[in-house]
Structure 1
């Protein structure tokens, strides 16, 4: 609280309610809001960009086709091929490709003026995506190794004396099959939520200093404004990194599901 003469100005930081706006409409327990709209738009954006990029399929690609091929090659080679292996990666390229660009676009909504809401700052979206990844790689592992073989691979690391399994099996089961999907989602949700809320605080504080304090507030607002710009570009970087990290972990889990035990 700052006091100037008889005028008292109190800064009220933005809350979660300010970040997550009320829904556009509700039908029973179902609510459709800005976040869900952005998720749907992201599907159209990703599909449209790569469909247009692949439309001509010229031997000498134009700029859009070249960018599309670069984007596809990045996921195919750097994530799928390098992590899953040259003999196993091909069936999983489409799901990893879709996962990365779907998350990337939904994260980048938070940095686009007037939209300014990363879709995965809602916990439900992040946990749903992590649940999909979890069911997918567990299903792949069971299909490849059978239920018993998959559980053995997840809970009984090779090269360990048998008596250690008494301790290791419950720890590995809890870590790989219970904690893993939770942390997979939480990492994405927490970074998107915290980063966007921090930008909102910096922006609202700058506005408060300029509009409500005047005088010294104008000078101090320069520092909060610069800090807000720094947070914006930091969040932009994190938005890209988190799309990569989520997809990378998905690829690592798939590699563990298809890898042969040694």
Structure 2
């Protein structure tokens, strides 16, 4: 659990309670300062997550057998969750298998990066800065547009912008709305939904644990008892953040599958 008390922001004078601020998401450079490859704590968390995912899947699948061991069973359960519960359920067996690699990558990458927000010493999600959510949403955006164009090369964009069955005179209203909702709002909300949940979750946890530190070590007299309440709330919100970490990965992945389903639908 995230019971390591976060440090106050730079510039804190040490007197009184200082809450979290947006500077939490712009930590100082740790390695390679002044070069195009400079790394801060969040970038190191992302690299660590990538390495951990690769190692875990390699260890769990290097000795595949008909009767799976414990590691192989866990990996297969996770893969089956994405394959059956998301890919095949929404896209069918053929298209589900086709897009399973990207959906699987999205789910496990986002889960792992979200969970680092509750890991002691890491204490921040790799998805809490816009870079990763934006890149993943961009990949999803290009993928479902490519899928639609490939399956319906002559109709995808036309039917997306000029929905069949709408009176011709209404296209002057409908088409701008379709452009905005499908090709602009969709990727923006796909990005922000993941990003903002991770930002808010981090700020709440930092707030509770900073308040706990303040009440226990700085508050006078009986005010120290408030630290018990903030610590309890911090513990509860840590559990809640674990749930949100998995839920947001599921939501991001299933929305990608839904967009693919819409792009591949025969109506196009």
The TM-score normalised by the length of structure 1 is 0.90
- Is residue 106–residue 120 contact of structure 1 (8 Å, CA) maintained in 2? yes
Specify the alignment match of 1:3 in structure 2.
none
Specify the alignment match of 2:6 in structure 1.
none
- Using the TM superposition, give the Cα deviation of residue 154 of structure 1 relative to its aligned residue in structure 2, in angstroms: 2.3
- Using the TM superposition, give the Cα deviation of residue 28 of structure 1 relative to its aligned residue in structure 2, in angstroms: 4.6
CA deviations 1:158-190 (Å, max 9, x no partner) are 444444333211101110101111100000000
CA distance in 2, matches of 1:217, 1:20: 32
* Secondary structure at the counterpart of residue 137 of structure 2: helix
Specify the alignment match of 2:52 in structure 1.
45
For 1:17-166, list aligned pairs within 5 A: 17-24=23-30, 25-28=32-35, 31-146=38-153, 148-166=154-172
Specify the alignment match of 2:242 in structure 1.
236
Specify the alignment match of 2:181 in structure 1.
175
* Secondary structure at the counterpart of residue 89 of structure 1: helix
CA distance in 2, matches of 1:154, 1:84: 19
- Is residue 16–residue 214 contact of structure 2 (8 Å, CA) maintained in 1? no
Farther off after superposition, 148-157 or 219-228: 148-157
CA deviations 1:46-88 (Å, max 9, x no partner) are 1221222122221111111111111111111111101112332
Instruction: Structure 2 unaligned segments of length 5 or more: list them.
Output: 1-14
* Secondary structure at the counterpart of residue 93 of structure 2: coil
Q: Quickly say closer, same or farther: Cα 1:166–1:180, change in 2 above 3 A.
A: same
CA distance in 2, matches of 1:150, 1:112: 44
CA distance in 1, matches of 2:149, 2:56: 35
Q: How many residues align?
A: 253
CA deviations 1:15-72 (Å, max 9, x no partner) are 2223532121334565311211222222221122122212222111111111111111
CA distance in 2, matches of 1:241, 1:29: 34
Specify the alignment match of 1:11 in structure 2.
17
* Secondary structure at the counterpart of residue 95 of structure 2: coil
Instruction: Structure 1 unaligned segments of length 5 or more: list them.
Output: 1-8
Specify the alignment match of 2:8 in structure 1.
none
- Is residue 108–residue 249 contact of structure 2 (8 Å, CA) maintained in 1? yes
The structure with higher relative contact order (CA 8 Å, sep 6+) is 2
- Using the TM superposition, give the Cα deviation of residue 153 of structure 1 relative to its aligned residue in structure 2, in angstroms: 3.5
CA deviations 1:216-259 (Å, max 9, x no partner) are 22211111111111111111110110011001111111111222
Farther off after superposition, 29-38 or 56-65: 29-38
